[in-house]
Chains A and B, each alone.
Chain A
Amino acid sequence: MVIQYIASGIISVVLAQFIWRIFKDKTIVFKSAFWIFFWIVALIFIWLPGGMLNYLGTFFGVGRGVDVLIYLSIIVLFYIISGLNRKIEQLETEITKLVREIAKNKVQNKK
């Protein structure tokens, strides 16, 4: 199917970028490992014969195999978003502390 080729193309580009970055900076190997693994699994899923994917679907009780993927992706996305939210809140607090310190220092220097 066309979609398989399009998705594979996009994933290959993403993977190539990761590999290129690791090639340039070896220290990010561990940071990138999760994402490389993630995209390779995605690639495998895309080319998995329909029967196998649907077997997975029946196993989880959601019918079509592709639905399993969609549900999983939503869960992963939510997890990532909540992590990002936490991070942003932390940053906001840190920024406020910084802004406050700058304001207070300026007042003190004026004395």
Chain B
Amino acid sequence: MKRLRIFLCALLAGMAWIGGMIGGPMAQAQSLIQVKGSDSEVNLVQRLAEVFMQKNPGAKLAVTGGGSGTGIAALINKTTDIANSSRELNAKEEEMAKKVGVIPWRIVFATDGISVIVHPANPISMLTMDQLGKIFKGQITDWKEVGGEAAKISLYGRQSNSGTYVFFRELLLKGDYSPHMKSMNGNAQIVEAVKLDKASIGYVAVGYVVNEREEVVPGVKVVKVTKDERSEGYDPVKMENILSGKYPISRPLNQYLNGKPSGKLMEFIKFELSIEGQEIVRQQGFAPVQKNWMELNRKQMN
């Protein structure tokens, strides 16, 4: 009997403890800024947040990935303060945000060139946008069809919650991905898979394959992309190509908030767009904000 009593006491204490654990973070939630979403942006924003926290000892940011779709869903469900998204909101999401009273407020804090990568042993060094679309749609299935050595093309892409998945599809495929495309859990996984696979092709954010000295990470090859057969090919390795728009698969990296922010949130956004913040963007292998998007940012901040 005594044992049973001790057991029950322990049980109650345990429940109280768990209750405290659940209740605890909610009470602290005010001071902690949640940032969630794009896997392409997560390392970059993490770095920005680290530097920001060093400079502002009172501020606390928690940056997690999961994909742009996950971030936007979290913004709509009001479980995150900032949604990182490498694509724009779609009509459905805007409608759902409206329904729950969330007013998406957008800023652009960096520019990405979605890099097309292959195995270093692959002789292919340039592809047209049309070829890329056909390869990922599954209409071109062998490397010899685009001038390479005969081998079945092995496709690596992202899962449907990825902003990169959606952006790449809208721009290049205008149709569905091949059902033979292997959907990986993030940019890093694609890079690792491409390194191991001689017949591979994949697409990732430029920050995952290029370092701040404009060098490609070892083990992969970044191919040049041309708008069509007659134009010149450019690669995203040179930041200048992304910034000028010469590299054809470049895109703005966005953050969405619920309405124009204030306080620490606003300070963080300002820091990202500052000279120092943009320098960090450069160090992480991405390009700073393009001129036309600076216009949008200026309008949003006023």
Are A and B part of the same complex? no
List A residues at the B interface (Cβ < 8 Å).
none
List B residues at the A interface (Cβ < 8 Å).
none
